[in-house]
């Protein structure tokens, strides 16, 4: 057992009983939403996972320990700390561990810790990807590189629509990451399903996805599978509402010189402001939807 890994009693019990388990990230708590909605959403995600037959393992780094499974108090701590909490990706883990520090895990770091713990399915909101203007900035999320290396299936609502979706798909194809549309042939665009990009694979049931995962693991593929799950239509935002808000947020971020890992939290918060909070409501609902699907996939896989 990895000496730096700390698995919660509930998650360990689920492992011993061979029950389905899904990983959940913690950056969505610290950087994805304001307090107290972040804590309420995180706890509701855990309840949703259990209601659909899977034990949730919310993942973070606390006191230098790589934690798979958090208490309510630990989730509250992350939520109150908000953006003051270190946003931890792959590059940050050695520092946090060696110095006994805290960090909220991104998709990449959550995948690493989930894999260490033996958790095969992970639900998040939207993945990072290739940022708009990356041909100049080279701003490409470490999430994509992690998917090329770490065999944890990621269930999401597509890439965040603040990104360049076409280039993100091309990058995943180059890295050989299977991208599956759940009951869709079109790449979901986080807040909306109005994307013009086709996904290369389609699956219509959780069992079908579980079969793909099992085949991939049996063949010892080194990387992940990405399952894209459209936001329920009743919560989707019209493209003519969300797209102008994203464009304005991008312009303001550029004008303020915001770059690196601060870009995504800034853009998400600005879009919430520009849409009068409607994008936050959509964000919460798409996360719940992904947790439900991930739990069903984990159940079929186990």
What are the catalytic residues? 25, 160
Distance CA(155)–CA(30), nearest Å, equals 20
Tokens (6 digits) for 29: 């708590």
Distance CA(169)–CA(146), nearest Å, equals 15
Cis peptide bond N-terminal to 208, omega within 30: no
Cβ contacts of residue 171 below 8 Å, gap of 6+? 129, 130, 140, 144
Own/partner long-range contacts of 207-215 (Cβ < 8 Å, ≥24 apart): 207/300, 209/153, 209/180, 209/182, 209/297, 209/300, 210/297, 210/300, 210/301, 212/178, 212/180, 213/120, 213/121, 213/153, 213/297, 213/301, 214/301
Burial class (CB in 10 A: 0-12, 13-18, 19+), 75: buried
Burial class (CB in 10 A: 0-12, 13-18, 19+), 178: buried
Give the number of other CB atoms < 10 A from CB of residue 187.
22
Distance CA(283)–CA(279), nearest Å, equals 6
3-state secondary structure of 61: strand
Report which DSSP code applies to 260: G
């Amino acid at each position: 057992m990895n000496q730096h890994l700390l698995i919660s009693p509930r998650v360990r019990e689920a492992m011993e009983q061979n029950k389905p388990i899904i990983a959940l990230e913690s950056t969505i708590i610290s950087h994805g939403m304001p307090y107290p909605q972040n804590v309420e959403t995180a706890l509701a995600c855990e309840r949703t996972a259990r209601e659909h037959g899977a034990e949730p393992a919310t993942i973070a780094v606390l006191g230098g320990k790589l934690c798979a499974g958090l208490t309510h108090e630990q989730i509250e701590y992350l939520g109150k700390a908000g953006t003051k909490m270190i946003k931890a990706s792959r590059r940050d883990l050695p520092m946090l561990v060696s110095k006994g520090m805290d960090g909220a895990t991104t998709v990449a770091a959550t995948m690493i810790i989930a894999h260490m713990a033996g958790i095969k399915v992970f639900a998040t909101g939207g993945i990072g990807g290739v940022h708009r203007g990356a041909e100049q900035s080279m701003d490409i999320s470490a999430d994509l590189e992690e998917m090329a290396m770490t065999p944890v299936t990621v269930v999401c609502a597509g890439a965040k629509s603040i990104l360049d979706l076409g280039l993100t798909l091309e990058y995943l194809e180059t890295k050989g990451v299977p991208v599956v549309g759940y009951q869709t042939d079109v790449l979901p665009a986080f807040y909306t399903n109005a994307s013009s990009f086709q996904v290369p694979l389609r699956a219509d049931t959780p069992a079908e996805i579980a079969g793909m995962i099992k085949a991939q693991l049996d063949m010892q593929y080194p990387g992940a599978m990405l399952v894209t799950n459209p936001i329920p239509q009743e919560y989707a935002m019209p493209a003519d509402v969300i797209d102008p808000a994203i464009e304005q947020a991008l312009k303001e971020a550029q004008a303020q010189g915001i770059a690196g890992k601060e870009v995504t939290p800034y853009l998400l918060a600005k879009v919430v402001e520009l849409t009068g909070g409607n994008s936050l409501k959509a964000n919460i609902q798409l996360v719940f939807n992904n947790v439900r699907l991930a739990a069903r996939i984990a159940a079929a896989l186990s």
